[in-house]
Amino acid sequence: MKRTIIAVTLAALMPGLAVAGDWPERPVTIVVPAGAGGGTDATARMLAERLRDKFGVPFNVVNQGQGGGVVGINTIKTAEADGYTIGVIYNFAHYAPMGQADFNASDFTPIAQYNFDPAGFNVRANSEWNSIGDALDAIKAAPADYSIACGGGCGGSWPIAAATLMSEWGIDLSQVRMIAGQGAAGALQDMVAGGFDVVPSSVPEAGALIQAGRVKSLAVFGSERLAAFPDIPTLSEQTDLDLTLGAWRGVVAPVGLDAEIAGELAEAMSDIVSDESWQAQMAERGFGVQWRDTEAFADFMASEEGSVREIVATLGL
Amino acid sequence: MVVFESLALLMEPKTLGVILGCAAYGLIVGAIPGFTATMAVALLVPMTYFLDPVPALAGIVTLAAMAIFAGDIPGALLRMPGTPASAAYANESYQMAKRGEAETALGVGLLASAFGGVFGALMLIFAAPFLAEISLSFSSFEYFWLACLGLVAAIAASNSTPAKGAISLFIGLTIGMVGLDPVMGQQRFTFGNINLVGGLAFIPVLIGLFAVSEAFRFGAKPVARPEILPISPKSLFTGVFSHVRRLKWPILRGSGIGSIVGAIPGAGADIAAYISYAVARRFSPKKDAFGTGTVDGIAPATAANNAAVGGALIPATVFGIPGDSLTAVIIGVLYMKGLNPGPTVFLMQPTLLYAIFIAFLIANIVMVPFGFGAIVLFRRILSAPPGVVMALVTLACIVGAFAVENTTFAIFVMLAAGLLGFYLEENEFPLAPVILGIVLGPILESTFLASLAKSQGSFVEFFSRPIAGSLGAITIATILVPLLYALLIRRK
């Protein structure tokens, strides 16, 4: 009896020393490097609910969207790797080359990727371009004549997707005018007003303006058409490029997480993502599902880090 | 039909509960001298974090409407306006109350307030979508000038000297510069501190400036309240309707002035009330009675300050440009709730937006019974010991700042902002320009740089686009005309 009490007391005093067999014995924090109400937050909360059901302890979402995600991602990176702080992460390879924060793929223990939303190539509804090929050829002929909105900062998922495509098309990226601003919604409205020629963004974000007949999306950068927007062709249908570019989200932990805990989390994630009700829930909210297990996710983050940093350097950001 | 869908959103029991709670809260905070409507909203914001967009925003606009009216009550019975918006005619109604006519002053004031509020709400409902349609053709050039106009008006309209208004504004702009710059994402004024990379968060700064500063001021010198004048609620509506019927045109004029002044960036309910009071005096057949206690002065001015709230919501929702500190907060909440203000929100989320507008309209109608209740219970509201109230306010501030940001750093930001707000107010620097600077600074910077990038460094396009050119001319005239005028007068 006495020994049990001592053991319990010791365990309570040393939460950091919890071993995989006991995990989780108290609530787990999911750091979300985005404000409440956005897409990252919505998917994280959906995950948290299902993780709680799997493990029987609360998974608490903590939003830290300050500084375009820098604060939240830093919290994940520097947290204790005891399995009680995990995080949702998204395209982060651009922060380091742009001098915003020192985040590298090697700073995290990958668990799994659960989401991917392809970029859309949006132009004004009355634009003379009717296919992605028209647009890219025109930009290639006179790269300085067109302005492309980055939505937020030019290192974000959407502008990087557009820049990667243009680079593959042989467009001189150093001549292209990529213009930073505040948010894709504002940039889309500005494009309708004649301020920009192209705004890359997720297709649902441009959905209301597409339905209102003010914006058309020339291509979606995914492997297949979106169920909600079946009229928008994919890149590979129109060009001989087979690129999937856009925004992704996955679950990571601080580097050095016990392999057994990571394994348990990855297994739970696999169960959740393959669950049909979860897929329906994601589709209903307009989020694409993409599964990458721990190994594939690690490879993906590493290769993306290389390609994004090359693009950022070419763009001269 | 958007209107029915919006009504259905409002009729949810939870939403109704939040609206009723906010109405009562707004009346109480508005009735306590020294507590402004902005402070009431600032304290509520962290709580709205846990609500859906419709109840959150419907609650806030209800609260704003109620707090602006409730400020009239201590103005009449204590000669201390509950909020700055009631300052223009606090003496007028106090003089009436001293003559034993408090019932008439507050009864007419309540009806005129409700009328002004409804007028402002209707302006909002009909003018905003129309303006939104036009502003769909606004590019970054136009937004740059709107932000400029907002900054200039923030100085011109502050209740202080232009120099002090400008200093406040620049403090706000500086606060807004901390963190990642809005265009290139470079770090500014962060001193390598990861907490500062996110910038000085808006809500903690706001709570600090408007609420914590008030607690500090009370701590520095607690104020005893003067004797409350008597009022008999039973006779509150006797003879009131004949006054309102007699004053229908001045009240309508006051409502019109209020909604227009409210819509001008930088000028809010307090300025609207001053202007409406001055205009009423100018056109009244009983000019001499003004200042000695007459409803002829109270009714148009109190209609104006309530109409101003609706007016200020027009640029807030259509352009995302705040009309005053109160709407600056509402814009913050709109962003927090994913309803990015701008013309596209009218296309993308019309149901949500109209639900909020309709909630505001309804709030101004139910203001009559609720306001009556607040007048009856006023003595009881003020019987809460101020020391306890201030302690609770401080506690709510700390919890609120942490709840919004999830960092302890936010609490320190809030406390520092509280000290700043205390220091500024003690030295008669206005606080509203600080908040406007924080909101408008990043808009100004990103629209300016985006415009320059689009025009490849040429400034011509800032004037060659017709709407941008006109807005630019208005902005420059707002700066130059008073200067030239002052110069001319000096010559003579």
CB atoms within 10 A of CB B477: 12
Which residues are within 8 A (CB) of A282 and not within 5 positions of it... i.e. 6 or more apart? A43, A46, A115, A288, A289
Tell me whether residues B198 and A71 touch, CB distance under 8 A: yes
B439 three-class SS: helix
Our CA-based measurement puts residue B49 at a distance from the nearest CA of chain A, in whole angstroms, of 8
Burial B188-217 (b: 16+ CB within 10 A, else e): eebeeebbbbbbbbbbbbbbbbbbbbbbbb
Least trusted range by pLDDT, from A74-83, A127-136, B238-247, B464-473: B238-247
Report the pLDDT value the prediction gives residue A3, as an integer from 0 to 100: 56
The β-bridge relationship of strands A59-63 and A28-32 is parallel
**pLDDT recorded at residue B87:** 86
Residue A253 is inside which H or E element, if any? strand A246-254
Measured between CA atoms, the residue of chain B closest to residue A193 is: B137
* Percent of chain A whose predicted confidence (pLDDT) is above 70: 92
The answer to whether the beta carbons of residues A121 and A133 sit under 8 Å apart is no
Which residue of chain B is at minimal alpha-carbon distance from A188? Answer: B344
Output phi, psi for A121, to 5 deg. Answer: -100, 95
Name the helix (H) or strand (E) containing A56. none
Is there a contact between B281 and B290 (Cβ–Cβ < 8 Å)?
yes
More confidently predicted of A252 and B401: A252
**Domain map (residue ranges) of chain B:** 2-491
Q: What is the pLDDT of residues B49-71, one digit of tens each?
A: 778 888 999 999 999 999 999 98
Among A77-86, A175-184, B149-158, B373-382, which is the least confidently predicted range? B149-158
What string of DSSP letters covers B264-318? STT--HHHHHHHHHHHHHHH-TTGGGTTS--HHHHHHHHHHHHHHHHHHHHHHHH
In whole angstroms, give the CA distance from residue A94 to residue A104: 9
Evaluate if residue A16 carries a pLDDT over 50.
Answer: no
B338 to chain A nearest CA, in Å? 6
Q: Is the pLDDT of residue A192 over 50?
A: yes
Which DSSP helix (H) or strand (E) runs through B345? Answer: helix B343-348
Q: What is the mean pLDDT of chain B?
A: 87
| ipTM for the predicted complex | 0.73
Residue type, B181: D
Kind plus residue range of the DSSP H or E element containing A11 = helix A2-13
* Chain A CB contacts of B199 below 8 Å: 66-67
What pLDDT is stored for residue A18 in this prediction? 46
Q: In whole angstroms, what is the distance from residue B376 CA to residue B373 CA?
A: 5
pLDDT of residue A200: 95
Judge contact between A233 and A125, C-beta under 8 A: no
- Quickly state the pLDDT bin for B20 (edges 50, 70, 90): very high
**Residue B194: its chain A contacts at CB < 8 A?**
70-71, 74, 101
A-B CB pairs within 8 A amount to 121
B464 touches A: beta carbon within 8 Å: no
User: What pLDDT does residue B119 have?
Assistant: 96
pLDDT digit string (tens) for B274-325?
A: 899 989 988 888 888 888 889 899 999 999 999 999 999 998 898 888 878 8
Under an 8 A CB cutoff, do B140 and A185 touch? no
pLDDT in tens, B95-137: 998 888 888 899 999 999 999 999 999 999 999 988 888 888 8
Instruction: Report residue A6's pLDDT band, with 50, 70 and 90 as the boundaries.
Output: low
pLDDT band at residue A4 using 50, 70 and 90 as cut-offs: low
The owner of tokens 């007419």 is B108
pLDDT band for position B473 (cuts 50, 70, 90): very high
The minimum CA-CA distance between B36 and chain A, rounded to whole Å, is 28
Top-confidence residue, B156 or A23? A23
pLDDT tens per residue across span A289-312:
999 999 999 999 999 999 999 999
For residue B454, give the nearest of A38, A65, A147 by CB distance. Answer: A147
Distances (CA, A) of B14 to A15, A243, B327, B338, B423: 40, 47, 24, 20, 40
pLDDT averaged over every residue in chain A: 88
CA distances from B79 to B38, B40, B71, B94, B227 (A): 21, 21, 11, 5, 10
List, for residues B169-192, the tens digit of each pLDDT value.
999 999 999 988 877 777 889 888
Whether B46 has its CB under 8 Å from any CB of chain A: the answer is no
Which of A163, A213, A166, A206 has the alpha carbon at shortest distance from A184?
A: A206
Residue B242 burial (CB < 10 Å; 0-12/13-18/19+)?
Answer: exposed
8 Å CB contact between A167 and A159:
no
